[in-house]
Amino acid sequence: MKHIVSILMENEPGALSRVVGLFSARGYNIETLTVAPTEDRSLSRMTVVTSGSDEVIEQITKQLNRLIDVVKVVDLTESPFIERELMLIKVRATGKEREEMKRMADIFRGRIIDVTDRTYTIELTGDGQKLDAFIDALDRASILETVRTGSSGIARGERVLKV
């Protein structure tokens, strides 16, 4: 099953490689990974989308907690949460496709952020499934390039992950 694990860690050189090294050394999956400093620059917030049995996820959170640089770990999937991913997608936009692309972007509440005679670059946010659905809705041949950030997640309601 898919889990979204949020990690609050010291913003130290090498901290990211400790997390990534742990996943590869112990054979855990990483589907996506995002990381950036928080409002407190001494901390980084990382979101890892992973999958595995309950036992594996339990081990992942325990092993992450063992890392000296890790301050806190939460499995967001344990309670209501919000997941967002950003995708930039460059598509062919010529002839009658041009109008169709604009309509598709509107339906998915994407925004066209760059335009040439022959292309659109569309910005789209949502959970991973929504981005997948957008890609599926397009003709593969019209997709020139995609770039996705991987998911970031946060708990719903008043729950916070803070020092």
Partner 1 sequence: MELTGAEIVVRCLQEEGVEHVFGYPGGAVLYIYDAIFNQEKVRHVLVRHEQAAAHAADGYARSTGKVGVCLVTSGPGVTNAVTGIATAYTDSIPMVVLTGQVPTHAIGEDAFQEADTVGITRPCVKHNFLVKDVRDLAVTIKKAFHIASTGRPGPVLVDIPKDVTRAQCRFEYPKTVSMRSYNPVTRGHQGQIKKALGLILTAERPMIYAGGGVVLANASEELNRFAELLDFPVTTTLMGLGGYRSSERKWVGMPGMHGTYEANMAMQHCDVLIGIGARFDDRVIGNPKHFAQNPRRIIHLDIDPSSISKRVRVDVPIVGDVRETLREMIALLEQTLAAGQKTNAAAVANWWKQIDEWRGRNCLKYRSSDEVIKPQSVVQKLWEVTDGDAFVTSDVGQHQMWAAQYYSFDKPRRWINSGGLGTMGVGLPFAMGVLLANPGAKVACITGEGSIQMNIQELSTCRQYNLPVKIVNLNNGYLGMVRQWQQIEYGSRYSQSYVDALPDFVALAQAYGHVGIRVERPKDVEPALREAFGKYKDRLVFLDFITDKTENVWPMVQGGKGLTEMLLGSEDL
**Residue 25 in the binding site for partner 1 (CB under 8 A):** yes
Size, binding site for partner 1 by CB under 8 A: 20
* Least distance (Å) between residue 152 CB and partner 1: 21
**Residue 55 in the binding site for partner 1 (CB under 8 A):** yes
> Whose Cβ is closer to partner 1: residue 69's or residue 132's?
69
Cα–Cα distances (Å) from 130 to 22, 147, 159, in that order, read: 30, 15, 25
Among 32, 34, 38, 63, contact with partner 1 (rule: CB under 8 A): 63
Element (H, E) at 93: none
* Least distance (Å) between residue 155 CB and partner 1: 21
Which stretch, 66-74, 116-124, 125-133, 134-142, contacts partner 1 (CB under 8 A)?
66-74
Q: From the CB of residue 125, how many other CB atoms can be counted at a distance below 10 Å?
A: 16
Among 36, 62, 79, 113, contact with partner 1 (rule: CB under 8 A): 62
Q: Buried b vs exposed e over 89-118: b needs ≥16 C-beta within 10 Å?
A: bbbbbeeebbeebeebbeebebebeeeeee
Strands 111-115 and 70-75: unpaired
Q: At how many degrees (to 10) do helices 15-25 and 54-66 cross? A: 140
Residues that bind partner 1 (CB under 8 A): 9-10, 13-14, 17-18, 21, 25, 55, 58-59, 62-63, 65-66, 68-71, 163
